[in-house]
Structure 1
Amino acid sequence: MNKILQLLIVLVLYPVIAFPDTISVNKDSIAGGRIFNSDIIHEVRIQFLQCDAWDSLLFIKKERDSLRVKRYLQGNVEVNGKKYFSCGVRIKGESSFDYYPGKKKSLKIKFGEFNKTQKLDGLKTINLNNAFRDPSFMREKLYLDFMREEGLPVPRCTYANVYLNNEHLGLYVLTEEVDRGFLERNFQNKKGAFFKGEPKATFAYHGDDSLVYVGDYRNKNKSVNEYADLMQLIRVINGKEELEGSDSLQINDVFNVESCLKIFAITSLFLNVDAYNLLYPHNFYLYKNTDTKKFEWIPYDGNYALCAFSSVFDLNQAENLSVFYLHDTFDNPLTELLFSKAEYQKLYTDYITYLLSEKFTSKALNREIETLARKIRRSVYYDTHKMYSNAEFETNIHLSIGNTNDAGAFIPGLEPFIEQRIKAVKKELKIKN
């Protein structure tokens, strides 16, 4: 009886000790939780001891692009007042590097490049994107957040004011790195085949020699060579996988079709043209989930969302683009296969119908746009290195910028583009309001 009484006293006086972490999962306890769940705009200060640091960064970028030499410049980084020493820093990006004027280039910081145990809030690496061709600074945030709210495996995203050697470079979109830590957080495993699709990862079949595919599907799992798994996926997509004594493998046997179709649906609604199912066969990772034995589709890079750039469509064509669009300048057998099967068509259109009724609505998205605009407005105004003016930041929320009849010469207004896109897709799929 005394023992029972003692136990009751402990439970009453020390409830936290009795139930430490079993009631709910604290998102902040997950690696990156404090960075990506915080509502503040972070401050990132990069300091180099070299007097010619900028020239060194440019040289490393050129060396990486031409020779595939992976190097970082050593520097100290301070995030929200906390100092990290001997970090690796490099310039990243393609169009965001070549066509963004001035010094505000996209950056990658690898906290453990020279000190293997060093991390930022449990993260080894972060990306600082310069919002190329996005006067609103909101496209990538809206796009990635929307997919994450749908439970899809995409990078987390927030904002940071960035300084380099005490020079304010401006407001950046801070995004999560897709690495083995990302895999563990999203799939609870990280040892499967892992590839980055670029620059022309079309899934076209070019024979069984894996060396043919190395340049477009980069092996990110350095401990093993997993091209055999990739080759099987490509053969299945192209109908080349024959099994003795049984039916051929189907795409759903080796690939998470449902997740991919959901990502393609959101990509189409947001018209992020820099994606496989629209204009460019890159900006994705493939990971073979060791639990399901299926490849997962992991997209990234959303600064072209809501048609920030297209060399193909004028504004009217972009707003009315079919959700079953197939680009005709490169082979896209994966999209063709998924769109050719009635069961997958239904899954795809049912999901779009659901989004248009519940999530992808003008009311919901406009509210998010207004919230983000209030959050970042002051930082946008103080950014003297941004591509567009303060007036264009404000205008692009409500109106298009540039010649809307000339492909590549305009940037749609966020709110009107969303409204017109909703109307066009509902009309195409015969969805009643």
Structure 2
Amino acid sequence: MKRLKRNLNLFIVAVTFGATILTFNACASDEDIATVVAEEEAAEEADDSDFVATDWTAETHSKDADPNFDEVFEDNAVKRLDIVITETRWQSMLDDMTSLYGTFGSVSGGPGGGPGGPGETVLDEENPIFVPGEVFYNGKEWYRVGVRFKGNSSLKTSWESGILKLSFKLDFDEFEDDYPQIDNQRFYGFKKLSLKNNFNDKSMLREKVATDVFRNAGLVSSHAAFYTVYVDHGNGPEYFGLYTLVEEVDDTVLDEQFLDDNGNLYKPDGDAASFAAGTYNESEYVKKTNEDEDDFSDVESLLSILHDDTRTTDPVAWRTNLDAVLDTDVFLKYLAVNTVIQNWDTYGRMTHNYFLYNNPDTSKLTWIPWDNNEALENGNMEGSLPLDFSGLNASEWPLIGYLYQDSVYKSQYDTYVQEVADGAFNVSTMQSTYSTYASLVQPYAISEIEGYTFLNNSSDFQSAVNELNTHVSARASAVSDYLN
């Protein structure tokens, strides 16, 4: 909708809703105009179920289509997504954010707490609201898509800093009950997608590169790709910046990377996510599948076995029992990758940013990494964990501390550390990857505009890329020193 301008001696304002055009003469007051516009916009939104999904095809919109990874997660391209939200609905999203985090652009100290360390309050007890919006890609429209802001401390910090480049979550059939035309709507086979804003990452490469490294090391991990995002909330398309589109674990990651997707998927968040003794709390083992089934016996068994006295009195029995409930081989490989590449914003420092999936094929809880924008650097606060985990309080982080104290598990971890440094994270491969991706995204990164960017100037981007190249060389040396 075009904004109405004041102080016109003689004016005609045309506001179009579908086929309705309103005309105002000079005698109309600002209050009259605002009232009529509000009424018409409300009427529009009340009647917006009357549409035909003309762009719908089986390949692009149907649930029956297989996920098209080549189209949605192309490695060597920067694609464009447009999101269109009515002015009223956009305002409702902003009002909701204000209620959660205070006034935009000011530190409020409002709801929520710290960034998720032991004993600290987590922030995502209440997610921002979904509203219907349209998504446009490659000349096609996706209808009444559920759109909301997403994130934890990154969302709060961006909002308080007055930066509108916020992360989004898209759910393509969130509103199917309200709009039968979009029943089981998909985006090339994907129901849910996350648009990450690359918070605290001036290279804008970390989220994409880290998830690639995990997958190249043979672990389950989301796919990711670079996209520019434009949002039209009433004034035409506005460039919100360069984002990273990330595959959702509770959508296609389970479907495509496991033989069976019917197991319990948890996204632990809070003290219980540390698995320290005495922290068991079902409400903090947040279920993303089988939510209506009151069965947490798998995570309860893991906690019990992890702290069993046999850990010190009979290590063989302890390992046997632990291996029966946790895929320890996957966890140790994940731990090696995560520690070699350095990622502080997850288990070992923070009580969030991972998933556990009870794989029906093995009946074991399987570790899945998540949220990697803070990877590939030493990190904030206490920094990333050292390769030998010196300084780690084993009782606070027992999945790391207790396994590393066991000679068999430590040997397995050390083997994976060497494999990661030689393979998925070797210096020449990574520096080539950084060069390719940096050249690809640079024009879009340095063209971000004030209020929609975390860059202070265009040179910030190249400086951050240079740091990535220096970092991978330093990590190779760190691995060599550790193993020798």
Q: State the SS of the aligned residue for 2:208.
A: helix
After superposition, where does 1:301-316 map in structure 2 within 5 Å? 301-307=371-377, 309-313=379-383
Alpha-carbon distance between aligned partners in 2 of 1:124 and 1:265, rounded to the nearest angstrom: 32
Alpha-carbon distance between aligned partners in 2 of 1:156 and 1:337, rounded to the nearest angstrom: 31
Q: List per-residue Cα deviations over 1:93-143 (Å, max 9, x = no partner).
A: 122212223210111011110124101111111111111111101111111
Aligned to 2:173: 112
Aligned to 2:18: none
Q: State the SS of the aligned residue for 1:97.
A: helix
Q: 1:145 to 1:61 in 2, by over 3 A?
A: farther
Counterpart of 2:173, as a letter, is G
Q: 1:184 to 1:97 in 2, by over 3 A?
A: same
**Larger radius of gyration between Structure 1 and Structure 2:** 2
Cα distance, 1:322 vs. partner? 3.0
Q: List per-residue Cα deviations over 1:25-79 (Å, max 9, x = no partner).
A: xxx9545442113532121111112335144245068569686367411111112
Q: State the SS of the aligned residue for 2:283.
A: coil
Aligned to 1:11: none
Conserved 8 A contact 1:138-1:372: yes
Q: Does 1:79 align with 2:116?
A: no
Conserved 8 A contact 1:57-1:73: no
Q: 1:90 to 1:45 in 2, by over 3 A?
A: same
Query: Equivalent pairs: percent with the same residue?
Result: 26
Counterpart of 2:131, as a letter, is L
Q: State the SS of the aligned residue for 1:370.
A: helix
Aligned to 2:447: 382
Give the one of 88, 103, 118 matched to 2:146: 88
- Between stretches 67-76 and 381-390, larger displacement belongs to 67-76
Conserved 8 A contact 1:127-1:176: yes
Conserved 8 A contact 1:326-1:335: no
Alpha-carbon distance between aligned partners in 2 of 1:329 and 1:391, rounded to the nearest angstrom: 41
Alpha-carbon distance between aligned partners in 2 of 1:374 and 1:69, rounded to the nearest angstrom: 35
Alpha-carbon distance between aligned partners in 2 of 1:420 and 1:47, rounded to the nearest angstrom: 44
Q: 1:330 to 1:307 in 2, by over 3 A?
A: farther
Q: 1:235 to 1:61 in 2, by over 3 A?
A: farther
Conserved 8 A contact 1:195-1:286: yes
Aligned to 2:190: 123
Task: Provide the alpha-carbon RMSD of the alignment.
Answer: 2.6
Aligned to 1:4: none
Counterpart of 1:108, as a letter, is K
Conserved 8 A contact 1:236-1:251: yes
Conserved 8 A contact 1:108-1:125: yes
Alpha-carbon distance between aligned partners in 1 of 2:224 and 2:70, rounded to the nearest angstrom: 11
After superposition, where does 1:94-243 map in structure 2 within 5 Å? 94-100=152-158, 101=161, 102-115=163-176, 116-165=183-232, 166-200=237-271, 201-206=273-278, 213-221=281-289, 222-239=291-308
Q: 1:57 to 1:123 in 2, by over 3 A?
A: farther
Give the one of 336, 352, 370 matched to 1:265: 336
Q: 1:163 to 1:54 in 2, by over 3 A?
A: farther
Q: Does 1:59 align with 2:96?
A: yes
Give the one of 409, 428, 435 matched to 1:370: 435
Counterpart of 1:37, as a letter, is E
Aligned to 1:7: none
Alpha-carbon distance between aligned partners in 1 of 2:211 and 2:95, rounded to the nearest angstrom: 29
Counterpart of 1:118, as a letter, is Q
Alpha-carbon distance between aligned partners in 2 of 1:365 and 1:323, rounded to the nearest angstrom: 23
Q: 1:31 to 1:260 in 2, by over 3 A?
A: farther
Conserved 8 A contact 2:344-2:380: yes
Q: State the SS of the aligned residue for 2:87.
A: coil
Aligned to 1:410: none
Alpha-carbon distance between aligned partners in 2 of 1:259 and 1:67, rounded to the nearest angstrom: 29
Task: Report how many residues are paired.
Answer: 376
Cα distance, 1:418 vs. partner? 1.6
Q: State the SS of the aligned residue for 2:274.
A: coil
Alpha-carbon distance between aligned partners in 1 of 2:330 and 2:137, rounded to the nearest angstrom: 34
The unaligned stretches of length 5 or more in structure 1 are: 1-27, 399-412
Alpha-carbon distance between aligned partners in 2 of 1:203 and 1:111, rounded to the nearest angstrom: 34
Q: 1:149 to 1:358 in 2, by over 3 A?
A: closer
After superposition, where does 1:237-252 map in structure 2 within 5 Å? 237-239=306-308, 250-252=321-323
Aligned to 1:281: 351
Conserved 8 A contact 1:133-1:308: no
Q: 1:369 to 1:131 in 2, by over 3 A?
A: same
Alpha-carbon distance between aligned partners in 2 of 1:157 and 1:330, rounded to the nearest angstrom: 34
Give the one of 403, 417, 425 matched to 2:471: 417
Q: State the SS of the aligned residue for 1:37.
A: coil
Conserved 8 A contact 1:106-1:128: yes
Alpha-carbon distance between aligned partners in 2 of 1:67 and 1:193, rounded to the nearest angstrom: 20
Give the one of 392, 409, 413 matched to 1:344: 409
